[in-house]
Amino acid sequence: MMGWAIAILFGSAVVLLILSFIKTTQTNSRLEQQIEHVSISVLNEVHELEKQLRNIQLDAEITAQQAGAAPAVSEERELLREMLDLYKRGYSVESIAGKTKLKPNEVEHMLSPFMAQKGERGLVAQ
């Protein structure tokens, strides 16, 4: 009698183990599908953002060309881009001057159109 009970328990354990493996495989498969769907949607969003960025860059180039501005690939424009980035991230004029090896008054002169815009926006926002 005791032998039969042990055999039944052992058989039940084997069946439960097999069911557990099957369930784990199904769960892993579903998880992999969900991960694949998420990665595809993220890639699609990144592609859309790249397209929008490309359009913005082209629009900026067209606007600069129509306004008769300097070409987009000039050293002065690169310097201004770097200075404006630092300014918008909260760096002081003196810090920007130190990083760009310019005098503070030169930095302030180059950034003055952007500083005025920021000040005007602040007044409107209040």
pLDDT values of the chain reduced to their tens digit, one per residue, 126 residues: 788 888 898 899 999 999 888 888 888 888 889 999 999 999 999 999 999 998 888 777 667 766 766 555 577 778 888 888 888 888 999 999 999 898 999 989 888 877 765 444 444 444
pLDDT score for 65: 64
d(CA 96, CA 86): 7
Classify residue 103 as left (phi > 0), alpha (psi -120 to 50) or beta. Answer: beta
100: buried, middle or exposed (CB in 10 Å: 19+, 13-18, 0-12)? Answer: middle
Note the helical H segments in the chain.
2-67, 75-88, 93-100, 104-125
Find all residues with CB under 8 Å of 106, minimum gap 6, and list them.
97
Over residues 61-71, the pLDDT tens digits come to 667 766 766 55
Classify residue 26 as left (phi > 0), alpha (psi -120 to 50) or beta. Answer: alpha
pLDDT score for 82: 86
Q: Is the pTM of this model over 0.75?
A: no
